[in-house]
Amino acid sequence: MTHRAAARFLRIVFDRFLLLPIGAAIALVWANVAPESYFVFAQRSAFAVNEIGMAFFFALVAQEVMEAVMPGGALHSWRRWTLPVVAAAGGMLGAMAVYLGYVHVKYQDALSPAWPIACAIDAAATYYVLKTILPHSGALPFALLVAIVTDAIGLVIVAPRYLTLEAHVGGAALMLIALGLAAAMRVLKVRAFWPYLLICGAFSWFAFYREGLHPAFALIPIVPFLRHEPRQLNLFADPRDDDAVHHAEHEWHRIAQGVLFAFGLVNAGVALSGYDTGSWALLSATIVGRPVGILIAVGLATAAGLHLPRHVGWREVLVVAFATSSGFALALFFATGLLATGPMLAEAKIGVLMSVAGAGIAFGAAWLLKVGRLAH
């Protein structure tokens, strides 16, 4: 492979957020071919990846949400976000209802606390599915807003319920130091992201750790102090590297993708024979409950007077509903926090991995309904 071809391949991998599924695929093969060595590796690496590395990923998510809601961003106008918010709520209720109903019918109520796993949406997977099917349609930003709102609500629900570490005194003082330093940097007009993330973020991380809160969320309180620019609807488009903010965002995205590769490698490995009730409950919730919930919510909202995006009809909405089926990164993160290591966690991980079938269903629906590029 030539240098140019290798560079092009790496660009495709980064542009399409493929490092996470690549890491997950390696983990699946490793866990089923040499399970003992894999699980030793995963256990030794879990803290560094899940508690430290993922803090950069969630900070990036928080940064994108803040830029989307600021003036000029995708979520600033209520006319833009009202219908996606309704659709997100409907999708969450549908997924939750199907998941809880399934585990109750199967008399596996011990799995009930894990229902937030079924609500997570992988925004990157949704983006690239719809970018392929409907590249120039209002369905794409609509789906991205549904994913962002859903995941933001999910994080708010899950964070207090996450398995916490042992609490120690002094965490509040460390957090005050972190916020004070961040405020001082803001006043001094520090433009670079890294002093905030590495200096203030370190104090915040230890504050979360000592207070028994999950430290993966530790950088989120620092994000409001960063410099922001309005983020438009095309969230995963690669902005021009024309100033310090965009250059830092490029570096941040690359680090976050490396973290996601490690996250998939550490957390996605599971023996494929471990599927059971939790797996089928999650699969049913994501490819049946969420699409049905989204369709019902959008139907009620449009009947109440809200409007679909321009040039988007019910066929496109159906494709969008299936395109949001995969939870992947966020769902795996929820699973590792809400369930203890054991058979139930293995069931949940398999269900999360099976939810990628929703992408195939979206392509099939687009082909049958003659939607977008599959219309011909």
Residue 90: inside a domain: yes
- Dump pLDDT digits (tens) for 69-120: 677 665 566 666 788 899 999 999 999 999 999 999 998 888 999 999 999 9
Domain membership flag for residue 172:
no
Considering its fold, how many domains does the chain have in total?
1
Q: What is the pLDDT of residues 173-197, one digit of tens each?
A: 999 999 999 999 999 988 888 889 8
DSSP string computed for 140-178? HHHHHHHHHHHHHHHHHHHGGGSPPPPP-TTHHHHHHHH
Question: What is the predicted pLDDT for the residue at 232?
Answer: 55
Does residue 202 fall inside a structural domain? no
The reply to whether 187 falls in a domain is: no
Alpha-carbon distance of 178 to 201, in angstroms, equals 7
| Within-domain flag for 176 | no
For residue 139, tell me if it sits in a domain. yes
**Given this model, what pLDDT does residue 74 score?**
56
pTM: 0.76
Task: Output DSSP code: residue 107.
Answer: T
Residue 174 lies in a domain: no
CATH of the domain at 276: 1.20.1530.10
Residue 207 maps to a domain: no
Q: What is the mean pLDDT of each run of 10 residues along the chain (376 residues)?
A: 68 70 90 92 91 87 73 65 90 96 92 92 83 80 85 81 56 91 92 87 92 84 82 53 54 80 88 84 95 95 85 89 88 86 88 89 92 78
Q: Are 290 and 324 in contact (CB under 8 A)?
A: yes
Spatial neighbors of 334 by CB under 8 A, at least 6 apart, are 114, 116, 117, 120, 154, 158, 327
Domain with 312, as residue range(s), is 3-163+214-375
pLDDT at 327: 86
Using a 10 angstrom Cβ sphere, with 0-12 exposed, 13-18 middle and 19 or more buried, the burial of residue 42 is buried
User: What local confidence, expressed as pLDDT, does residue 18 receive?
Assistant: 75
What is the DSSP secondary-structure string of 284-303? Answer: HIIIIIHHHHHHHHHHHHHH
Cβ-contact 140, 127 below 8 angstroms: yes
